[in-house]
Amino acid sequence: MIVRFRGVRGSIPSPGPHTIRYGGNTTCIEVWTDDGELIILDAGTGIFPLSQTLFDKFPLHAHIFNTHSHWDHIQGLPFFIPLFVPNNQVSIYGAYDPITQNGIQEILTEQLQYRFFPIRECELKSQIHYHSLQPAEAVQIGAATVTAVLMNHPVVNFGYRIDCRGKSLFFTGDHEPCYNIYEPEDDEFSMYQTLIDQRNRGIIDGMHGVDMLIADSSYTTAEYPSKKGWGHGTFESCLEMAEQAGVQQLFHTHHEPTRSDDALEAIFKDALSKRKYDLSEVDLASEGLTIEW
Amino acid sequence: MKTCMEPQTEAVSQENIHQRVSAMVESMPPFPQSVLRLMEMTKDFNCSPKDLVEVIECDPVMTMKILKLVNSAFFSLSRDVVSIQHALVYLGMNTVKNLAISIATIDALPHKTISELPMEKFLTHSLGTAFVAQRLAKDCLHIKDVSDYFIAGLLHGFGKMVFIQLEPASYASVLQQTKDKNCSLVQMEVIHIGISYAEVGAMLAQSWQLPTSLVDCIRTHVDCDADSSDMAISVAAASMVATVMQLGINGEVVMDEFPECIQQRLGCDLKMIIEQMQNLPDEVSKIQSMVRG
Ligand SMILES: [Zn+2]
Ligand SMILES: [Zn+2]
């Protein structure tokens, strides 16, 4: 399995001198399975540089898994070059949205409205397949199985687990661990806690024992209280999740757009010095970083 | 056009009633005060999840519609979602909030209302039943997680709302005759409409894929015996308590004692329960004024 980070930034692309080492593109992860299938996790702006490297692989079949429909995870989709080239196939997977009651196909349709983009959906030359997934649904791609796990974010967000020939990874997308809305003295507190424990256990089970966990670590523990309910994790919550799920290696991602490289390294160092868990391999995701195993 | 209120010259087609009722409920609006309160509350991005749950769960229409969406085939979760708290834990605060807003703002028909069973009074009875059912489950049956008992109490009479919307004039006459003859409402409904409110409510709950325990409770609470579920017993008893205490109106005749099977299961009689429930009118009016904001 080969994993290459193409975009590690949250919210909005953040190019410039202060983000040169970790990169300014929004979320996109390139995965090649051992039998040569291309799986792309999210289509943030990082998908554009990725698409520039694919020309010699045409005709190709790319499988794009969208964690959720926020801008920073779909922004690059209309710029995914293989969409425009005949004989390519692009399969797009993602959640059904219970509020608008739209499936995954609506995302591209909305993005390609003529007012916003010069090429209309019917003018795309590749074959596009859409698959709206249900929580816990698994998809077979060659020798790989990709399983959707319902996470916690303001919109429905799927984490994806990829298993292929004994190797595995899990990407959370955007995720904030569930918390109790009641105070300990409220009648409903323990009932709600039971529900949350069940729910968190389901999430941990979904990523259990993977070789690599890539997780949303937008905030520091100090920043978190003012961002509670916004749907993102902290360095600490990700370390805890990695510990509970017994994963081999953890990558922190979805870096804040205003965070400079120096600041990012400083808070990472600080989080590591305070961690309660002994996980040998922990790192910051950075654009271009490639891991093969 | 045929209606389900025609006299029994022809057998009433269950299928036909089902379709009409389902279509009608889709356009049934939530109660105006919950809509107002909800819109007011959600102007604040950081509105309290606790308050949100409280407003939604006091409105049978909103509750039923949210549970329907969450349990629907499009979004089937690995376990039944039986309460608004449940929905919150699975879908997150923002999704539930936006579901509620979209339900609150649908272009719905206005409520029809009849003087024999005004909607406001009916809502008060439903809330009273919800409170008592929860208390009975906790105090008499020693059940720990009672949130689904609240929902069951709130929704037990949903079928009556459906009749009022569908055929207000005929249902008014059924209610009047029940009162005049001092007989069972369910029997009158079956004679004049061909189907009882319990059956209609259960049919809806079933087609909306609400949990089986809830469907069974809505269907069987009108006809309890020694084999009835704890939930059906609690809701049946709670509805009688609310009726005797004249908390709202439910169109049924006042009983002076629980049926034997209920008394046996709860281990106490109607009078004892009523003595313990002296603060009930206060609690219900407190929650109603909270909903009104
Ligand atoms: Zn994001
Ligand atoms: Zn997001």
Dist. CA A192 → ligand 2 center (Å): 25
The answer to whether residue A33 scores a pLDDT higher than 90 is yes
Exposure string (b/e) for B55-66, b if CB count within 10 Å is 16 or more? bbbbbbbbbbbb
Nearest CA in chain A to B76: A134
What value does the mean pLDDT of chain B take? 85
Of B247, B257, B253, the C-alpha closest to B288 is: B247
Cβ neighbours of residue A108 closer than 8 Å, sequence gap 6 or more: A77, A78, A92, A121, A128
The answer to whether residue B4 scores a pLDDT higher than 60 is no
**Phi, psi torsion values for A251, nearest 5 degrees:** -115, 125
Residue predicted with more confidence, B84 or A89:
A89
Of A172, A94, A84, A167, the C-alpha closest to A130 is: A94
Q: What is the pLDDT of residue B3?
A: 40
Exposure string (b/e) for A123-150, b if CB count within 10 Å is 16 or more? ebebebebebbbbebebebbebebbbbb
Residue predicted with more confidence, A91 or A114:
A91
Confidence class of residue B166 from pLDDT cuts 50, 70 and 90?
A: confident
In A207-257, which ranges are continuous DSSP H helix?
235-245
pLDDT tens-digit readout, A172-223: 999 999 999 999 999 889 989 999 999 999 999 999 999 999 999 999 999 9
Chain-chain contact of A191 with B85 (C-beta, under 8 angstroms): yes
Which residue bears the tokens 């305070």?
Answer: A274
Residues B81 and B185 reside in one and the same domain: no
| Tokens found for residue B196 | 């009882």
Confidence class of residue B108 from pLDDT cuts 50, 70 and 90?
A: low
Is residue B293 within 8 A of residue B36, CB to CB? The reply is yes
Among A8-17, A72-81, B146-155, the minimum mean pLDDT is found in B146-155
Q: What is the pLDDT of residue B61?
A: 86
User: Given CB atoms, is A96 within the 8 Å cutoff of chain B?
Assistant: yes
Nearest CA in chain A to B86: A195
Q: What is the pLDDT of residue B227?
A: 95
Fold of A2-284: Metallo-beta-lactamase; Chain A (3.60.15)
ipTM of the complex: 0.83
- Cα(first)–Cα(last) distance of chain A, in Å? 6
Which residue bears the tokens 């409510």?
Answer: B201
Assess if residue B159 is contained within a domain.
yes
Average pLDDT over residues A48-63: 97
Confidence class of residue B78 from pLDDT cuts 50, 70 and 90?
A: low
Beta strands in A191-279 (DSSP E): 212-216, 249-253
The answer to whether residue B6 scores a pLDDT higher than 60 is no
* Largest distance between two CA atoms of chain B: 57
Chain-chain contact of A101 with B74 (C-beta, under 8 angstroms): yes
The neighbouring-strand residues paired with A144 are A141, A164
pLDDT tens-digit readout, A38-55: 999 999 999 999 999 999
Strand order in the sheet with A290-292: A127-133, A89-95, A61-65, A38-41, A28-32, A2-7, A290-292
Evaluated on CA atoms A108, A114, A118, A123, the torsion sign reads: positive
Which residue, B93, B108, B123, sits at the end of a domain?
B108
How far apart CA B178 and CA B163 sit, in angstroms, is 15
How far apart CA A10 and CA A17 sit, in angstroms, is 17
Is residue A3 within 8 A of residue A293, CB to CB? The reply is no
Among A27-41, B182-196, B221-235, the minimum mean pLDDT is found in B182-196
Residue predicted with more confidence, A30 or B4:
A30
User: Given CB atoms, is A135 within the 8 Å cutoff of chain B?
Assistant: yes
User: Given CB atoms, is A263 within the 8 Å cutoff of chain B?
Assistant: no
Cβ neighbours of residue B238 closer than 8 Å, sequence gap 6 or more: B128, B129, B130, B131, B132, B133, B135, B136, B153
Of A113, A63, A107, A61, the C-alpha closest to A85 is: A61
pLDDT tens-digit readout, A211-230: 999 999 999 999 999 999 99
Q: What is the pLDDT of residue A34?
A: 96
Burial of A208 (0-12, 13-18, 19+ CB in 10 A): middle
Percentage of chain A beyond pLDDT 70 is 100
Domain total in chain B: 2
**Phi, psi torsion values for A287, nearest 5 degrees:** -60, 130
How far apart CA A70 and CA A108 sit, in angstroms, is 13
Confidence class of residue B109 from pLDDT cuts 50, 70 and 90?
A: low
Q: A108-122, A262-276, B30-44, B105-119: which has the highest mean pLDDT?
A: A262-276
Amino acid in position A48 = F
How far apart CA B136 and CA B233 sit, in angstroms, is 9
Among A207-221, B70-84, B186-200, the minimum mean pLDDT is found in B70-84
Percentage of chain B beyond pLDDT 90 is 40
Average pLDDT over residues B29-37: 82
Residues B116 and B54 reside in one and the same domain: no
Confidence class of residue A291 from pLDDT cuts 50, 70 and 90?
A: very high
Of A40, A47, A43, the C-alpha closest to A3 is: A40
Is residue B82 within 8 A of residue B151, CB to CB? The reply is yes
DSSP strand pairing (A281-284 vs A249-253): parallel
Other Cβ atoms less than 10 A from the Cβ of A121: the count is 17
| Tokens found for residue A27 | 């979320």
Evaluated on CA atoms B184, B188, B194, B200, the torsion sign reads: negative
How far apart CA A115 and CA A6 sit, in angstroms, is 28
How far apart CA B173 and CA B164 sit, in angstroms, is 11
How far apart CA A160 and CA A34 sit, in angstroms, is 18
How far apart CA A135 and CA A138 sit, in angstroms, is 9
Chain-chain contact of B76 with A194 (C-beta, under 8 angstroms): no
What value does the mean pLDDT of chain A take? 95
Other Cβ atoms less than 10 A from the Cβ of B161: the count is 25
- What is the DSSP-derived secondary structure letter of residue B26? H
Which residue, B108, B141, B162, sits at the end of a domain?
B108
Q: A40-49, B140-149, B180-189: which has the highest mean pLDDT?
A: A40-49
How far apart CA B232 and CA B149 sit, in angstroms, is 9
Which residue, B73, B93, B108, sits at the end of a domain?
B108
Assess if residue B251 is contained within a domain.
yes
pLDDT tens-digit readout, B237-267: 999 999 999 999 999 988 889 999 999 999 9
Assess if residue B88 is contained within a domain.
yes
How far apart CA A57 and CA A26 sit, in angstroms, is 24
Confidence class of residue B5 from pLDDT cuts 50, 70 and 90?
A: very low
Assess if residue B268 is contained within a domain.
yes
Residues B131 and B227 reside in one and the same domain: yes
How far apart CA A81 and CA A89 sit, in angstroms, is 12
User: Given CB atoms, is A195 within the 8 Å cutoff of chain B?
Assistant: yes
Portion 78-107 of B in contact with A at CB < 8 A: 78, 85-86, 88-95, 98-99, 102
Confidence class of residue B1 from pLDDT cuts 50, 70 and 90?
A: very low
Average pLDDT over residues B74-99: 79
Residues B103 and B128 reside in one and the same domain: no
Q: What is the pLDDT of residue B79?
A: 60
Question: Closest to B75 (Cβ–Cβ): which among A96, A154, A194?
Answer: A96
Q: What is the Cβ-side half-sphere exposure of residue B45, based on CA atoms within 13 angstroms?
A: 6
CATH no. for residue B214?
A: 1.10.3210.10
Is residue B149 within 8 A of residue B231, CB to CB? The reply is yes
Q: What is the pLDDT of residue A157?
A: 96
Name the minimum distance, in Å, from the CA of A154 to any CA of chain B. 5
Residues B208 and B119 reside in one and the same domain: yes
Domain range for residue B37? 31-108
Residues B254 and B116 reside in one and the same domain: yes
Residue predicted with more confidence, A54 or B63:
A54
How far apart CA B24 and CA A62 sit, in angstroms, is 44
The answer to whether residue B35 scores a pLDDT higher than 70 is yes
The answer to whether residue B7 scores a pLDDT higher than 70 is no
Which one of A137, A152, A176, A194 would you mutate to disrupt binding with B, by most B Cβ within 10 Å of its Cβ? Answer: A152
Which one of A155, A187, A195 would you mutate to disrupt binding with B, by most B Cβ within 10 Å of its Cβ? Answer: A195
Residues B131 and B249 reside in one and the same domain: yes
Among A11-15, A56-60, B37-41, B258-262, the minimum mean pLDDT is found in B37-41
Chain-chain contact of A154 with B94 (C-beta, under 8 angstroms): yes
Residues B103 and B115 reside in one and the same domain: no
Is residue A177 within 8 A of residue A165, CB to CB? The reply is no
Among A132-136, A228-232, B162-166, B284-288, the minimum mean pLDDT is found in B284-288
Average pLDDT over residues A57-66: 97
